[in-house]
């Protein structure tokens, strides 16, 4: 049973699993670097015009390209601005209520996200309970008890496989909503690497696990608040706020003891009324984003190269039924029947655009949209000017249908 290199896990799901926070007001300082367009002489710059057009049209890729150009411009003058922002937090209203999970149940829930859930409903088929016990580091009985807890509390729907003894089919109940925007009722998600999962699975104390996950969520939230500085590595949280999601016995000394454990991932500094969490560099939002995009770009190139190899073998005078191997490969990729197969030729920017969509939605949706594009456009001889734009349109149509179906 192989784990994915990365998994998307809903912030609401994690928050409910470790314990919902009591209502509080969040205050934080936002330090930003702002481009002084007047001092930089941006009025006549074509990049500045592109940035304005991207802001108006909402094209994220063009905006990122323009901002990267501005960052490296030798004439750019940036000024530091500090603002204090306040936000009233009611997690029960935001995420809905589900009971807090035990140590191993939290670990099991996280692990399920790394077992390649189906992109539409979050279904994972034929999961070996024995293998899960090895991954989590507990007995088979404990896994069964945790599965019962996840099902009883509404985190997962779990059924016996029916095909294999000792296996279950698991549906992650909120998985289909992870990609939704805030306007659509989405609560956001974190992209977690398997290396971070391994470190979380090694944590023995349940409060250490809860506090580490809380710190990871808060640092990620801070990075989102400050999109210009995705390299944020630390946040400071009051003991009052931390006690708001932990069991009632977790006073200041219990929190400190939990965070001083050797298996804690976050390093912590303790003050009279608060704790500062610091995350290792490899798990910072900016680094994770870069690593994830590189990984997805490689995966997409492998996928396209495999398709092109099949199309090359089929040639321009293919007769369906004469070559069983090619028939099988075309069927595996869900490619429509044809007598001629043209190869897919993409630019570096196309691959980067597709990788970004894997992060925004998920890889399965992107791969499915590539197949739809090939079957409905390329096989019909239609020339595609903007491959990424067409893929995005297809994905949006699919997700809109999924939303309606849900």
What the block records as the tokens of 201 is 């699975």
* DSSP secondary structure letters along 14-80: HHHHH-PPPPEEEEEEEEEEEE-HHHHTGGG-HHHHHHHHHHHHT-HHHHHHHHHHHHT-TT--EEE
Residues in the chain, total: 406
3-state secondary structure 74-120: CCCCEEEEEEEEEEEECHHHHHCCCCCCCHHHHHHHHHHCCCCCCCC
Q: What is the pLDDT, as a whole number, of residue 404?
A: 44
Q: Following CA atoms 146, 152, 153, 154 in sequence, which dihedral angle do they give, to the nearest 10 degrees?
A: 110
Paired residues of 191 in beta bridges? 8
Q: What is the pLDDT, as a whole number, of residue 403?
A: 46
Task: Please name the helix (run of DSSP H) or strand (run of DSSP E) that holds residue 238, with its range, or none.
Answer: strand 234-238
Tens digit of each residue's pLDDT, the chain (406 residues)? 788 888 889 999 999 999 987 776 766 666 677 888 888 888 888 888 888 887 877 777 777 888 888 888 888 888 887 777 776 667 777 788 899 999 999 999 999 999 988 867 889 999 999 999 999 999 999 999 999 999 999 999 999 987 778 899 999 999 988 877 777 777 888 889 999 999 999 999 999 999 999 999 998 888 765 544 555 678 899 999 999 999 999 999 999 999 999 999 999 999 999 999 999 988 887 777 788 889 999 999 999 999 999 999 888 888 888 888 999 999 999 999 888 899 999 999 999 999 988 877 778 889 999 999 999 999 998 989 899 999 989 988 876 655 444 4
> Which of 119, 127, 56, 182 is closest to 358 using CA atoms?
119
Q: What is the pLDDT, as a whole number, of residue 225?
A: 57
Asked if residue 30 lies in contact with residue 229, where contact means CB atoms within 8 angstroms, the answer is no
In this structure, the strands spanning 6-10 and 78-89 are unpaired
Paired residues of 1 in beta bridges? none
Distances in Å between the Cα of 199 and the Cα atoms of 136, 142, 188 are: 11, 20, 23
Structural domain spans, the chain: 24-86, 290-405
Asked if residue 257 lies in contact with residue 60, where contact means CB atoms within 8 angstroms, the answer is no
pTM of the model: 0.70
Please tell me the distance from the alpha carbon of residue 15 to that of residue 12, in angstroms, as a whole number. Answer: 5
Q: What is the pLDDT, as a whole number, of residue 229?
A: 52
The conformation of residue 161, written as its DSSP 8-state character, comes to -
Please tell me the distance from the alpha carbon of residue 254 to that of residue 6, in angstroms, as a whole number. Answer: 32
**CA 273 from centroid of its chain's CA atoms:** 33
Residue 126, sorted as left (phi over 0), alpha (psi -120 to 50) or beta, turns out to be: left
Q: What is the pLDDT, as a whole number, of residue 291?
A: 85
- Three-state secondary-structure class, residue 129: helix
**CA 107 from centroid of its chain's CA atoms:** 17
The conformation of residue 4, written as its DSSP 8-state character, comes to P
């Amino acid at each position: 049973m192989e784990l994915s290199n990365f998994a998307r896990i809903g912030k609401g799901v994690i928050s409910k699993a470790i314990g919902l926070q009591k209502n509080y007001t969040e205050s934080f300082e936002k330090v930003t670097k702002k481009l002084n367009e007047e001092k930089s002489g941006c009025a006549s710059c074509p990049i500045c015009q592109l940035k304005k057009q991207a802001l108006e049209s909402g094209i994220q890729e063009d905006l990122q390209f323009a901002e990267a150009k501005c960052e490296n411009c030798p004439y750019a003058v940036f000024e530091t601005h500090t603002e204090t922002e306040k936000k009233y937090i009611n997690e029960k209203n935001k995420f809905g209520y589900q009971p807090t999970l035990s140590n191993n149940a939290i670990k099991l829930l996280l692990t399920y996200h790394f077992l390649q859930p189906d992109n539409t409903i979050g279904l994972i088929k034929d999961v070996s309970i024995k293998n899960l016990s090895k991954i989590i580091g507990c007995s088979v009985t404990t896994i069964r008890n945790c599965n019962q807890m996840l099902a009883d509390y509404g985190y997962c729907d779990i059924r016996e496989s029916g095909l294999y003894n000792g296996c279950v089919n698991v549906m992650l109940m909120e998985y289909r909503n992870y990609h939704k925007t805030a306007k659509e009722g989405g609560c956001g998600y974190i992209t977690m690497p398997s290396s971070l999962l391994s470190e979380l699975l090694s944590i023995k104390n349940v409060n250490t696990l809860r506090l580490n996950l809380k710190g990871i969520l808060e640092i990620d939230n801070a990075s989102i608040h400050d999109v210009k500085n995705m390299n944020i590595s630390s946040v400071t949280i009051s003991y009052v706020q931390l006690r708001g999601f932990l069991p009632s016995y977790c006073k200041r000394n219990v929190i400190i003891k939990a965070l001083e454990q050797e298996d804690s991932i976050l390093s912590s500094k303790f003050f009279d009324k608060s704790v500062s969490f610091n995350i290792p560099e490899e798990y910072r939002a900016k680094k994770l984003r870069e690593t994830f995009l590189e990984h997805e770009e490689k995966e997409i190139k492998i996928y396209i190269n495999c398709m092109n190899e099949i199309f090359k073998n089929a040639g321009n005078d293919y007769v369906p039924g004469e070559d069983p191997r090619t028939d099988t490969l075309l069927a595996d990729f869900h490619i429509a029947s044809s007598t001629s197969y043209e190869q897919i030729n993409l630019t570096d920017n196309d691959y980067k655009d597709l990788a970004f969509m894997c992060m925004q939605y998920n890889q399965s949706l992107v791969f499915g949209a590539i197949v739809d594009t090939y079957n409905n456009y390329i096989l019909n001889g239609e020339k595609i000017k903007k491959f990424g734009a067409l893929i995005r349109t297809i994905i949006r149509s699919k997700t809109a249908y999924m939303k309606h179906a849900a």
